[in-house]
Amino acid sequence: MSSESLQKYEFKQSLERIKNYRGHATELVSLYIPPDRKIYDVQSYLRNEASQSANIKSKSTRKNVSAAIESIMSRLKLYKNPPENGMVFFVGHVSKGGNQTTMIQEVVVPPEPLPTFLYRCDSGFFLEPLEGLGETQTQYGLIVIDRSEAALGILRGATIKTLKHMYSQVPSKHGKGGQSKQRFERLIEEAAHEWYTKVAHYATECFLNNNIEGILIGGPGATKDYFIGKDYLNHELRKIVIDSFDTGYTDETGLRELVTRGSNRLSEMQLVKEKKIMDKFMKEVLSPKGTLATYGIKQVENALNLGAIDHLLISESLEKMEHIEEGTVKRLGEAAEKSKAKVTIISVESEEGVSLQKAFGGLAAILRYPIA
């Protein structure tokens, strides 16, 4: 796993933590700054908000909102420009229980660029624009096809992007009089062959060498299966066809329909990946030698220090476990990066994920070589 994946994990953990904060009144400030917003524009906006906050009736709310805005303005002085994805400030006095409060100042850099500027004061921090960001952004190719029309697209996260939409020149099967039936049918099949070849050509152009994890193919009736079965697709693309699905349309609507139909298969694929990694680890654990597997925090840290880990497996719930301190995943990830070890965060949605969490303390590794 790359440092990008670790950043996404930490981002999700930050959101979990921030979600639980509560203020006594509408005094928690959430400020979203997109990457193209000038810092001096934000400062100017906040000065205006500060003067508006003087009208708040409650003395303590007025004081706390004012303190939050001041805190953000002083932090902004450290920036010439926002980070490349923008940043979000979550600042305010949160409840510690009873009438006690403590000042929270969190700056979150999202894993994808923020689209808009937003300022919000409420009794909880405003997280909606960040939810869903940082999910695995695997790309899948999409093809919907029949004899008259086809569309190609890419699914990335929850976003479907149409890359190509085209119409065929294949005549309908109702021939004109005067032509022999056989000749007309041959012309139709030749035109259909050219059409499938054309769609396959654009599929190669759109998907080959474009980090596509798999391809879904849809369309009404048997056309899509004929297209797959007759090997029109480039052989490298054929290897990654996940499945075909019936769709009523073969345009942009068809692409959306295809994603809906295929969504279960896609979520299964991520779990299958995790299962393969866990199976490999279990094979080492159960091997009579048992020398290329280790688990538990001390053992894994020792193996990391020796540079002996090939693949580090971390349960997504590791930091929720009693014996684990906050920041452990970040520390382990950085150590793994130094020794060029692969890292995979394992979800708890599968049997294998639960096994990593419960039987192996949420942390395990496949080793490069045996260690004493």
Per-residue DSSP letter, 27: -
Tell whether the model's pLDDT for residue 1 goes beyond 50.
no
Q: Provide the 10 A C-beta neighbour count for residue 186.
A: 11
In angstroms, rounded to a whole number, what is the distance separating the alpha carbons of residues 367 and 336? 12
pTM: 0.57
252-284 residue pLDDT tens: 999 999 999 998 888 777 777 888 899 999 999
Contacts of 338 (CB under 8 A, 6+ apart): none
pLDDT band at 91 (very low <50, low <70, confident <90, very high): very high
What domains, with CATH codes, occur in the chain? 15-130 (3.30.960.10), 147-268 (3.30.420.60), 287-367 (3.30.1330.30)
Q: Which has more pLDDT, 346 or 137? A: 346
> b vs e for 326-340, b when ≥16 Cβ sit within 10 Å of the residue's Cβ?
eebbeebbebbeebe
Average pLDDT, the chain: 89
Mean pLDDT, residues 109-129 = 91
Mean pLDDT, residues 185-194 = 90
Mean pLDDT, residues 209-217 = 91
Contacts of 99 (CB under 8 A, 6+ apart): none
Is there a contact between 141 and 214 (Cβ–Cβ < 8 Å)?
yes
Percent of the chain with pLDDT over 90: 59
Mean pLDDT, residues 95-108 = 86
In angstroms, rounded to a whole number, what is the distance separating the alpha carbons of residues 361 and 327? 16
